[in-house]
Chains A and B, each alone.
Chain A
Amino acid sequence: MNILIDLSYIVASILFIFGLKMLGKPTTAVRGNQISAIGMLVAIVATLLYSGMDYRWIIVGLVIGSGIGAVAAIRVPMTSMPEFVALFNGTGGLASLLVGWSEYNKFLSTPDGTLEVVPVVAIFLAVLIGGVTFTGSMIAYAKLAERIDGKPTLFTGQQAVNALIVAALVISGVFYIMNPGAGLSQILFYITVVLSLVLGVLVTIPIGGADMPVVISLLNSYSGLAGCAAGFVISNTVLIVAGSLVGASGIILTSIMCKAMNRSLAHVLFSGFGAASSTGGGSTETGEVKPISAEDAYYVLEAASSVVFVPGYGMAVAQAQHAVRELGDLLEANGAEVKYAVHPVAGRMPGHMNVLLAEANVPYEQLVEMDDINPIISSVDVCVVIGANDVVNPGAREDESSAIYGMPIINVDLARTCFVLKRSMRAGFAGIENPLFFKENTRMLFGDAKESITTLVEQFKSS
């Protein structure tokens, strides 16, 4: 029977590898996800075949977990996708922590039980990485869902506190590994559980909400490594293979995203980005904000021969993607060339805007990437910025003292006219002033993005 289980694990690993590979291409992505899901099913069924398994609590757990997971996944609106990925990621981390803890508990409760050095070390790592993943993901969730302030939270001595916790973790770890059965080690083990959870909170709160995509990607990588550690705890190959696949691919994805923002991972993690620099350096804004009414905006759009929409998180919040598509269709019918320019890190996750525009059935060929639109942007009649802020902030190009200086942006300020749809003059998610709002050719269309767009659509229809 065990041979059958091991062979099934190999099949599952192959399915994961193919699934992950296929997820990377638009044409095969759906099947890739299904294939990896089948791999998961194979792994689960194979595990249930182990002899001596007690199914009572497993069934209870599977039913409860499937219920919660399915309801959450089906009911979540597309706009809140990023925070739910964070949430699911956190539960995975917690599971790895519990697997490690449970194995330690099994050892303690077995008289004359022995524990090899490898599982001992692996238990420690599963608890540590799993704990950091769990609370880190919960903080990321809370920041993205705006349950807590998205701004970086910094306090004096934060680095010192973190260093102390890490030191305490190392000391506990060494003592526990040297003699896992001793009374002191048991206490140290529980201290390790608590400190890991605390560390997850402390390393995530100083990171600004705008950087959460990178953090989620990194935490995703951690949850893979935690699973991997859990695999070493119970000497299970499929856990090790799947865990390290996720761990490695997560790190690659993280670095791709950092590159898109022109920042290093260390800078994202340790800079407290956007906390101290909210003034955007010493540059005081000159010029005045020029508001525009929806009616006047309509006349400009009606006369435009090329229009580029630049969506951001505000579009997601206002659920404006369908209205935007409708306006885009009307503009096209009116003879204008319509494009949607998507910044690689627009929204709260890379590709966030693509998902939303796809939901609204925006044709693929109308989507353009930043590098393709920037060279021709000065010939665009109207850029319509919908709830995007930091990714169109010209300060990144012009103001060396700006916190986001050097980040590639979509140069909407170089278009002939630029409409900015915004609820208020509040600074963006990164908390940085945006000189775009004060530019000569910028017009501010205040109000809820969906309402503003809908008004424009009605103007077009009634004309």
Chain B
Amino acid sequence: MDITLLLFTFVLAIFLGFELISKVPSQLHTPLMSGSNAISGISIVGALLASGLSSDTTLGLILGLVAVICATINVVGGYLVTDRMLSMFKTREGSQK
């Protein structure tokens, strides 16, 4: 894809990121950090491509495999931990009603 288009996407997304996280109550900082950490596991897309389309060198295979493992840990672990944290908030709201 055209480099300027990629840069354009990048700049817009950065501004969007700044806008999204303003005035978040402090009790949500940890879940938010954990949740955005899970999103940063998006490098799994790169890892899948690295593993699936790797040239058939041993080093390429190893790099791709380890990348997939690491990114998957980030994604699965990140979302599950965030969900566990947030489900506690939910219980409390539920008991309030």
**Which residues of A are interface residues toward B (Cβ below 8 A)?**
16-17, 19-21, 23-27, 29-30, 32-34, 36-37, 40, 43-44, 47-48, 50, 52-55, 57-58, 60-62, 64-66, 68-70, 72-74, 76, 78, 81-82, 84-85, 87-89, 91-92, 94-96, 98-99, 101-103, 105-106, 109-110, 118, 216-217, 220, 223-224, 226-228, 230-253, 256-257, 260, 342, 344, 349-352, 354-355, 358-359, 361-364, 367, 369
Contact = CB atoms under 8 A, between A and B. Distances in A.
B40 A81 contact: no
B64 A57 contact: yes
Q: Which of A40, A55, A220 has the most CB of B within 10 A?
A: A40
B70 A118 contact: no
A252 B18 contact: yes
Given A33-B79, A224-B39, 17 more contacts: A26-B89, A43-B45, A44-B48, A60-B65, A68-B77, A73-B84, A82-B30, A92-B71, A95-B44, A98-B47, A98-B70, A99-B50, A227-B40, A232-B10, A246-B39, A249-B17, A253-B29
Interface of B: 1, 3, 6, 9-10, 13-18, 20-55, 57, 59-61, 63-93, 95-96
Contacts of A74: 80, 84
Contacts of B33: 85, 216-217, 220, 250, 253, 349
Contact of B9 (A92, A240, A251, A342): A240
B81 A76 contact: yes
Contacts of B44: 40, 43-44, 95
Q: Is the interface of B mostly helix, strand, loop or mixed?
A: helix
Contact of B43 (A99, A252, A350): A99
A24 B28 contact: yes
A98 B77 contact: no
Contact of B50 (A81, A91, A98, A231): A98
Contacts of A62: 68, 72
B77 A43 contact: no
Given A33-B86, A43-B45, A69-B73, A89 B9 contact: no
A446 B50 CA distance: 56
Given A249-B20, A344-B26, A29 B52 contact: no
B28 A364 contact: no
A53 B21 contact: no
B52 A53 contact: yes
A85 B35 CA distance: 9
Contact of A66 (B64, B67, B72): B72
Contact of A73 (B18, B24, B81): B81
B51 A57 contact: yes
28 contacts: A20-B21, A20-B39, A24-B20, A30-B86, A30-B89, A30-B90, A37-B79, A40-B41, A40-B44, A62-B68, A64-B69, A69-B75, A73-B78, A92-B43, A92-B71, A94-B67, A95-B68, A102-B63, A106-B54, A223-B43, A232-B6, A234-B49, A237-B9, A245-B17, A247-B14, A248-B21, A355-B31, A358-B27
